[in-house]
A and B are shown apart, each in its own frame.
Chain A
Amino acid sequence: MDEKAFIFAAQKGDLAAFNQLVRAYQTLVYRTAYRVLGEGASAEDATQDAFISAYKHIREYRGGSFKAWLLRIVTNACYDQLRVKQRRPSASLDAMLIDPDNPAPGADRAAPESPQEFAERQELGETIQRGLATLPPDQRVTLVLADIDGFSYDEVAAATGANVGTVKSRLSRARSALRDFLMTQEELLPSRYRLNNG
């Protein structure tokens, strides 16, 4: 797939071409929104708003990383959702809905996942989500972009409108805070995810 060609066509008003970009990025966008917002309904709204906004402003895209450009829009859509909605506790069953076609980035392993491992990973996801909910939004967005989406510091800076130094310190504080949370939850985690049994 030639992303540049789709972008170019979309800039000319070709919605079908833009929808090709949507298909390529919707998993990433939704996952980001979901991790930032903590539950499915808001994440769905933010994802939809982000793609509509991206299409409206597609002609303002001037090269560079399209993913970073898109995630900037997603980030703003998430902030909008956070402003509009009173966040409810994110210990949500939504976290149980795992997409088998889209395993987490660090999840590639030689053997296919057993049903038990699959269930344990759901538990992990739920715990992570609760931990993320304890972070201030700026730190949460930064951690999601860096550690879940795999963005570089520069890309996170571009997506959040912060400078790299700010990204560095936000990420450091976010990881420390999440670490502290996870350590309080360690006995609830499946044993293979525990710090001292890993």
Chain B
Amino acid sequence: MGNGMPDRNNSANEHVWVEERLSAYIDDQLNPLERAQLERHLRDCARCQASLASLRWTVSLVKQAPAPALPRQFTLPLPAATPSTRRAPAFGVGLARLATVVATLLLFAVVTVDLLTRLGGGFAASAPAPAALRAVEPTSVALAPSSADETKRATPTASPERLLAVPPAPIAPTLTSPEVTGGGSAASETPSPKFATQNAVGTRTVQRTQPVSPRASATPTVTIAANAPSAALAGTATQTPEARATATPPTVVEARVQPTAAPLPSRPEVATSPLAVSPLRVAEIGLFFFMVFFGALTVMLWRRR
């Protein structure tokens, strides 16, 4: 009972003790013991009785004070800062995030399928076989029927321009690899030096035969994309990047060589190889762009909140 009433009756301390509790007493906020002690003091103390009366009078006056007139309506105008403008981005973020996740999962699935079929197609790719040999590799064509537009792409009537336009992404490794052999691995995510050298071998011919043409302009945009499948692979399938890496560039090389092959009749077999560009590859590239786009969109929307 630290709050107990002082012992000495009618002392200054006791008046203070009562005075401090009159406000709570008015509101019936004292515990029964305190209230009893306070009322016992009040019975004999005119001074504290007067204090209580004036306090009640004050509270009563405050309650009687008139309410100020409302100067206006405070309803919010419809276009005002509203949660709806805040909700839209929140909703958008959720959607973009969902799209990113879906694209990532699909990409993973496609890459896995691609890998499995390639592994099933044999490790011959690791051998320094000519590009044309690997281009004949049936995997890309065999898988093709799953895609709807595969037939168009597979038809020999497809124009070279179109073929060039479709598989731009994998070009990058072939272009960067010469630099890699010369100046280190900074330029690309090549998993092993072997990959770089092999590519260099394959592409050097390409570089030679390929005149720097308008097509070269397509390569810068491609560089990012080219890293995508290999980056995904590096994280998911550490065992296989080499096998895949060696398998991937050749088809690319041929795709690139193809238009230049026309003035070079010495390599006619290469000219047919662009048809080997797998729909899976296209799907990987497409999904990667999809993933990057929505990933960036997610981050953008998130920051804007």
Chain A: residues with CB nearer than 8 A to chain B? 13, 15, 18-19, 22-23, 26-27, 29-31, 34-35, 40, 43-44, 47-48, 51-52, 55-56, 58-59, 94-95, 97-99, 102-107, 121-122, 124-125, 128-129, 143, 146-148, 153, 168-169, 171-172, 175-176, 178-179, 182-183, 193, 195, 198
Q: Which of B49-64 contact A (CB under 8 A)?
A: 53-55, 57-64
Q: In this assembly, does B44 line the interface, its C-beta being within 8 Å of a C-beta of chain A? A: no
Report the minimal beta-carbon distance from B258 to chain A, rounded to whole angstroms: 56
Chain B: residues with CB nearer than 8 A to chain A? 19-24, 27, 29, 53-55, 57-76, 78, 80-84, 86-87
Q: Are B74 and A51 neighbours in the complex by a CB distance under 8 Å?
A: yes
Residue ID in chain B nearest A51 by CB atoms: B74
Q: Are B54 and A19 neighbours in the complex by a CB distance under 8 Å?
A: no
| Sampled A-B contacts (7; CB under 8 Å) | A13-B84, A43-B68, A44-B71, A48-B74, A104-B65, A169-B20, A175-B58
State the CA gap A168–B141 with chains docked (Å): 84
From DSSP, what is the main secondary structure of chain A's interface residues? Answer: helix
In the complex, which residues of chain A have a beta carbon less than 8 angstroms from the beta carbon of B83? Answer: 13, 55-56, 58-59
Q: Are A176 and B84 neighbours in the complex by a CB distance under 8 Å?
A: no
In the complex, which residues of chain A have a beta carbon less than 8 angstroms from the beta carbon of B84? Answer: 13, 15
In the complex, which residues of chain A have a beta carbon less than 8 angstroms from the beta carbon of B21? Answer: 172
State the CA gap A198–B82 with chains docked (Å): 50
Q: Would A182 and B66 be within 8 Å (CB), given that A13-B84, A19-B76 are in contact?
A: no
Q: Within the complex, which residue of B27, B70, B76 is in contact with A99, where a contact is CB–CB below 8 Å?
A: B70
Report the minimal beta-carbon distance from A74 to chain B, rounded to whole angstroms: 11
Q: Are B57 and A148 neighbours in the complex by a CB distance under 8 Å?
A: no
Q: Are B65 and A128 neighbours in the complex by a CB distance under 8 Å?
A: yes
In the complex, which residues of chain B have a beta carbon less than 8 angstroms from the beta carbon of A43? Answer: 68
The 3 closest A-B pairs by CB, nearest first: A106-B63, A172-B23, A99-B69
Q: Are A99 and B23 neighbours in the complex by a CB distance under 8 Å?
A: no
State the CA gap A147–B80 with chains docked (Å): 34
